[in-house]
Amino acid sequence: MTHADLSGVARGFNEIVVDGRGNAYVNGGNSDLMAGEEFTPGIVAAASVATLLDRPVALFGHSLGAVVAFEVATRLRPGAVQHLFASARNAPHDTTVVGDVHLRDDAGLVAELRRLAGTDGGVLDHPDLLPLVLPAVRADHQVIETYVGAPGRAVDCPITVLVGADDTEVTPAEAALWAECTHDRFEVLTYPGDHFYLDDVRSDVIAAVAAHLRR
């Protein structure tokens, strides 16, 4: 999953972008803090690094990354995270969304990727590339489809949820449940597009994030 490059959107902030694979990058750089680790230890590792940063932290996570960002935020010292941006994902405690994609055979997994239309068709049509791609995709789906967030947990920073108007993976009502995850301000921003709306409105999202961080 590609993410919007948010580097430099607001001075005085350290940006930690959490992508759809659960990888964390500080200031948009190449430091992969979580690759090769299990989901929960990876979150703890990212949180541990973030506590050492000498500036406020803003977290942006897309899809699976939104859940990872929330888990990181709940593990940081109070006040460390200034804003949490959760993109294209239902709230952590929302148990109404279930999935079985990780249990499907390879053909079923490919069909799901085609439905979401976020993967290059050339990759999905290439028999030599699929064995390299599908195990990681299946693992991603297993993580998010078996994840259950503990109810009642909330962060002290504002949460802004970003969704595509035509996203079939999260409805406006599901997005609104993120309000229960913060003791601070909450807002939902809707953009044209589907689950991968970021590809088409990157500059708009960057502008919105920058504006929120300057408040």
pLDDT tens, position by position, 167-213: 988 988 899 999 999 999 999 999 999 988 988 899 999 999 999 99
Secondary-structure breakdown of the chain: helix, strand, coil percentages, each rounded to the nearest 5 = 40, 15, 45
| pLDDT, the chain, mean | 77
CA distance 190 to 18: 20
Token code pair at residue 15:
């940006």
Reported as type and span, the H/E element at residue 26 is: strand 24-26
Cα dist from 40 to 16, 121, 125, 137, 209, whole Å: 17, 32, 33, 18, 27
Instruction: Single out the catalytic residue among 7, 31, 48, 63.
Output: 63
CA 141 to centroid of chain Cα atoms: 13
136 touches 172 (CB < 8 A) = no
Token pair recorded at residue 194: 């589907």
> Could you read off the pLDDT of 73-121 as tens digits, one per residue?
888 888 889 999 999 999 999 877 767 777 888 888 888 888 776 666 6
Picking from 96, 112, 7, the residue whose alpha carbon sits closest to that of residue 17 is 7
Whether 203 is catalytic: no
pLDDT band at residue 47 using 50, 70 and 90 as cut-offs? low
Distance between CA atoms of residues 2 and 4, nearest Å = 7
**Cα(95)–Cα(147) distance, integer angstroms:** 9
